[in-house]
Structure 1
Amino acid sequence: MIASLRQAFNAQFTDDKYAGMLADINTQFNYTPQFKIAETPVFIPKALKKQLMEACDDIMKVINQPNFKDLTDGAFFNEAMRVPNEDAHAKFLQLDFGVCLDDNGELTPKLIELQGFPSLYFFQELLGRMYRKHYEAIPHDFSQHLNELTSQEYVELLRAEIVGATDPKQVILLEIEPEKQATAIDFYATEALLGIKVLCISELIKRGRQLFYVDANGEEIRVLKIYNRIIFDELDQRPDLDREFDFKEDVDIEWIGHPNWFFRISKYTMPLLKGDYVPKSYYLDQLENIPTDLENYVLKPLYSFAGAGVEIHVDQAKIDAVKDKSNYLLQEKVAYAPIIQTMDEPAKCEIRMMLLHNSKTNQTQIVSNLMRLSKGEMVGVKYNKDKTWVGGSTGFFEP
């Protein structure tokens, strides 16, 4: 997106450098990531950075409204999903934007969706370091972070919010069979940097209101904090899991990333948002008049695992076929622009602005980013098979 830097990067790129970077990543935890890592980072110009910050600020103004919880109570379409002891603020927040061109041919972000849930906070830091280590064409004053946040300060901020003054062994990262998750590399990076235990929910022991796990020495350790990475949709699909703990139970732990925010800040929030950086979105069951230009819309289930059920070729018949319209959203399509020059066709990109609620300042701030490059109809593995210069990446912001 910055022509001079893109030309310089592409000129110095070799397949050997890329292979060396991947091998280096694999050796960090003796583990190969289960997703495609893109050959290149993305260079984000000042003007787009400014727009992304404005867009995030606009969205946070809505989320910070005193009545936001009232507005999003409908997100719990099943009361059994509501978890006790919800806190006042979402600890983690992801805002996903497609990078588009406006009517004047200038770069502009458009919100795709948002999530009140953690992302790859620790792997992205590792990935940024690896791009810098193996490619010399990344300017030293470009950063993955904003507001002059250094890499060390970033990690320490995450440590303060996830672990804080608690003994790290009493803080767990909770998942479903974490070693089998596509995001496992982030769990290993988290464990390495914070010293916390990565645990499957089936390994939790419940006694009264307290939770425990058994460590490598056979000692029972009481859990005081849970850094939650479990998505309910996946948990619902695993009735085979033998577990003592149910999320609906009121237990004596502190949620680091309370599960309720996954529902409150989600596709359900989209129709509440307005502005230049947000596409038109409607709750399907509340839409009195169906748009006549359905080719310009996508149909999305409000809650689905890994993007399942998204319909990109919409017509009236497909809308009529939806049985539970209260569980669907009709959203204006976002036209990603092919703006990243590669060795063959240009790539489109999506940027995730990764936010964190800072308990000391009581502010939610942008702390990092994640990018996905695509040459397919959609951003996703199945649309980018056998393509190069696609996959997970990170953005470096122009100062």
Structure 2
Amino acid sequence: MIPAQRHKFNQQFSVEKYKIFMQKLEDGYLEIPFRVAETPIFVPNALKEKLILASNEIVDLIKQPNFKALTQKSIPEGWNVPNENDHPHFLTFDFGICKNEASELTPMLIEMQGFPSLYGFQNHLSNTYREVYEIDHSVNHFLNGFNEESYIQLLKDVIIGKHQAYEVALMDVDAPNQKTAIDFFVTQKMLGIKILALKDIKKVGKHLFYEEGGKQIQLKRIYNRLIFDEVANDTTIFDSSFDPREELDIEWVTHPNWFYRISKFTMPFLKSEFVPETRFLKEVQSIPTDLENYVLKPLFSFAGMGVIIDVTESDIKSIPDPENWILQKKVNYEPAVQAPDGGVKAEIRMMYLWPDGGEPQLCINLARLSRGKMIGVRYNADFDWVGGTVGFMEE
């Protein structure tokens, strides 16, 4: 998108250099099970400013005093976790890169989460791109004036807080074997915190402990990467550990309720040139005649699961729980990233950190390239010049 940067990158790209890049990316960690794109995205200043404006508009909604009341119904029955804090610690907003009526590149909101993303890996990924492909410093993967030192310090403030690193653990069902485990290990190296599977944590009274060197060590804070949707059909998984829905003496980073509050559920409340028309299905009085321009999404799913792209009237009429679905205008991605054999579609995730008692701060980004029908990595496994990447923003 920055022509000079794109030309320079494509001119010196080779398959051999990409192999070196992947070796350096995995060195000291593990083989990455998802596809990493051959190239970063070079984001011009005009598009960067629109991405920032669009993101800040969403933040303004989330900071409204009535936001919790507005989103109370987003939390599924039986999954409301006690002791919710005042705000999430993470905000991530996914924007498809499109063209507006003036033929300018513009972001359109696709997804949003009050849940952690690859906050560790994205910095490591960016540094590796810069090293292998000799990317100059007129572009930056950080935003808002952050550099590596200030970013890692903020990440420590958010995740560790006032505690010691050994009192904090990154937790998932089977953390070391998750698809995004490289982010867990990069984060551990950056912050010194533990990585624990759910079964590694035991409850005594209201306290949580893990064992190390034959000693029981109390956890004070959990960096939560567990998505309840993944375990909702089998809650016996909690029997050998602890149930997050119980009253516990633990701090959550971020509290599980925010996963639901800041999600597809929030999108119908947003009115912006950067947000496609979105309605709760239960509020759709008449089915649009141009359904080819809409997409049907379940509220409670992740990684694109359950989304119906080619919507029919019978699809809508067969939904048994319309209160749990949204009908959204399709977003037409512009193939704006030039690969050697043509244009590739792009999505950019703007990533905020929100420390306790502080303000949300936009600091880093994630990007994805796609040639498939959907943007997610799983839908592009058979293509090249697609997958996870980062946006290098014009300074």
Distance 2:377 2:167 in 1: 36
Query: Does 2:315 correspond to 1:318?
Result: yes
Among candidates 289, 309, 332, match of residue 286 of structure 2: 289
Aligned residue identity for 1:189: V
- Listed one character per residue, the Cα deviations across residues 99-138 of structure 1 (whole Å, up to 9, x for unaligned) are 00111111000000100100000000000010011002x2
State the Cα distance separating 1:238 from its structure 2 match: 4.1
Aligned residue identity for 1:371: A
Aligned residue identity for 2:91: L
Among candidates 221, 227, 237, match of residue 217 of structure 2: 221
Distance 1:386 1:162 in 2: 36
Distance 1:96 1:118 in 2: 13
Distance 2:234 2:151 in 1: 35
State the Cα distance separating 1:182 from its structure 2 match: 0.9
What is the correspondence of 1:179-198 to structure 2 with a 5 Å cutoff? 179-198=176-195
Aligned residue identity for 1:232: F
State the Cα distance separating 1:323 from its structure 2 match: 1.0
Corresponding residue for 1:65?
A: 64
> Does structure 2 retain, via aligned residues, the 8 Å contact 1:177–1:200?
yes
Scaled by the length of structure 1, the TM-score of the pair is 0.96
- Listed one character per residue, the Cα deviations across residues 223-250 of structure 1 (whole Å, up to 9, x for unaligned) are 0000100000002144453533101111
State the Cα distance separating 1:305 from its structure 2 match: 3.2
State the Cα distance separating 1:371 from its structure 2 match: 0.3
Corresponding residue for 2:95?
A: 97
> Does structure 2 retain, via aligned residues, the 8 Å contact 1:203–1:243?
no
Corresponding residue for 1:3?
A: 3
Secondary structure at 1:97 match in 2: strand
- Listed one character per residue, the Cα deviations across residues 14-37 of structure 1 (whole Å, up to 9, x for unaligned) are 1111100101112122x0111000
Among candidates 204, 227, 233, match of residue 229 of structure 2: 233
| Unmatched 5+ stretches in structure 2 | none
Aligned structure 1 segments of 4 or more residues deviating by more than 2 angstroms:
237-244, 380-383
Secondary structure at 2:27 match in 1: helix
- Listed one character per residue, the Cα deviations across residues 258-283 of structure 1 (whole Å, up to 9, x for unaligned) are 10000000000000001100000011
Distance 1:388 1:69 in 2: 42
Among candidates 78, 99, 116, match of residue 118 of structure 1: 116
> Does structure 1 retain, via aligned residues, the 8 Å contact 2:121–2:186?
yes
Among candidates 359, 363, 373, match of residue 367 of structure 1: 363
Among candidates 123, 126, 130, match of residue 132 of structure 1: 130
Aligned residue identity for 1:110: M
Secondary structure at 2:185 match in 1: helix
Distance 1:260 1:239, change over 3 A: closer
> Does structure 1 retain, via aligned residues, the 8 Å contact 2:154–2:353?
no
What's the C-alpha RMSD, in Å, of the aligned pairs? 1.2
State the Cα distance separating 1:345 from its structure 2 match: 2.4
Distance 1:81 1:238 in 2: 13
- Listed one character per residue, the Cα deviations across residues 34-88 of structure 1 (whole Å, up to 9, x for unaligned) are 100000011110000110111011111111110000000110231x110011011
Aligned residue identity for 1:395: G
| Unmatched 5+ stretches in structure 1 | none
Aligned residue identity for 1:223: L
What is the correspondence of 1:241-390 to structure 2 with a 5 Å cutoff? 241=237, 242-359=239-356, 362-390=358-386
> Does structure 2 retain, via aligned residues, the 8 Å contact 1:234–1:305?
no
Corresponding residue for 2:27?
A: 27
Identity %: 47
Distance 1:392 1:37 in 2: 5
- Matched residues, number: 394
> Does structure 2 retain, via aligned residues, the 8 Å contact 1:114–1:265?
yes
Distance 2:268 2:342 in 1: 34
Secondary structure at 2:338 match in 1: coil
Aligned residue identity for 2:177: K
Corresponding residue for 1:106?
A: 104
Secondary structure at 2:156 match in 1: helix
- Listed one character per residue, the Cα deviations across residues 171-216 of structure 1 (whole Å, up to 9, x for unaligned) are 010101112211100001111111111111111110111000012x
Secondary structure at 1:346 match in 2: strand
Aligned residue identity for 1:310: V
Distance 1:248 1:395 in 2: 37
Aligned residue identity for 2:131: K
